[in-house]
Amino acid sequence: MSTAPGFDLPDESDDVLDEYSRTVMRVAESVTPHVAAIEMTSERRNGRVRMGSGSAVVFTGDGYMLTNAHVVAGLRSGRAVFADGKHSDVELVGADRLSDLAIVRGLRSTPPPAILGNAETLRVGQLVIAVGNPLGLTGSVTAGVVSGLGRSIPVRAGAHTRVIEDVIQTDAALNPGNSGGALADTRGRIVGINTAVAGLGLGLAVPINTTTQRIIAALLKDGRVRRAYLGLVSTPIPLDASAVVRTGQKEALRVVEVIAGSPAERAGLEPGDLVLSAQGRAVSSAESLQKLLFADAIGEPFPLTVLREGKSLHVFAVPSEMSDAG
């Protein structure tokens, strides 16, 4: 009988694991320096009191950082601490509750910016890496896959309810404090801002895409996002075979409710109408309609094509400006 010690020989699974590990480590090393733990504070009689905390991602060379609106929670100032121990006071630039995005700016020197990617290129099953500060643990890294795309989170501002559109679902572990942190692809590009923990093994992130780039630009310019308001409640619905043939579309938006006194009511829209297009673009979800309702649509003719009792109609609404006030 041989008494020689036994050794595990490497196999293909080890090579795969090593490549996975190398990818996660590489992304962690490139992204972590750009992610801060932030604490938002408020002045009280007994001094400054911490009111909110989370993470933030530096995305410009002059110290602007992306985070979540619910992290800043209406507060104006706070402190950011980076993985290397350096810190900076921060001030609020702007926040948008209806996308759960906010921007703060570091008042002292900050690390160079992270590279923003494009979530529209993501695919289900793709590896993503989350970097944040869960439970106060600075520079924590978790990895997982994209579990789903096109999810939505209902949010409310005043009397208005919208959805955060095209949300990324991932199984990368997220905990309190991850909110506002980075979700990166395997090239270290920021494709999302982690926004919520929806349940065990379920994380959500606001995507970096064309719509959120518009929101970011508006926050940088004006500190807020101006949106147009139509005043209708709708739900996606598949079209029947004859309507598909006539319109070339498979889905439309069924108007469930028209708010009294709203631009939609003044335009003559009625419950039961099937909205096919807006501004000449096919719409089949609330998100696809919302993408058209930004500042440039306020006070301007907004053409809609609808099906009503089998007949195609063209109507023109004039959206008003949405207010956070109830």
Please give the positions annotated as active site.
Answer: 70, 100, 179
Q: Which two tokens stand for residue 126?
A: 């793709």
Please provide the DSSP assignment of 181-226 as one string: -EEE-TTS-EEEEEEEEEETTEEEEEE-SHHHHHHHHHHHHHSS--
**Amino acid of residue 10:** P
Q: Which two tokens stand for residue 229?
A: 């308001």
* Closest to 225 measured CA to CA, from 93, 124, 53, 123: 93
* Whole-angstrom distance, CA of residue 130 vs CA of residue 142: 5
Please provide the DSSP assignment of 118-132 as one string: -GGG--TT-EEEEEE
Q: Where are the beta strands (DSSP E) in the chain?
A: 35-44, 47-58, 64-67, 77-82, 87-96, 101-106, 127-132, 140-157, 160-170, 182-184, 190-199, 202-207, 228-229, 232-238, 251-258, 274-278, 281-282, 302-308, 311-317, 320-321
- In which residue are the tokens 């195609």 written? 312
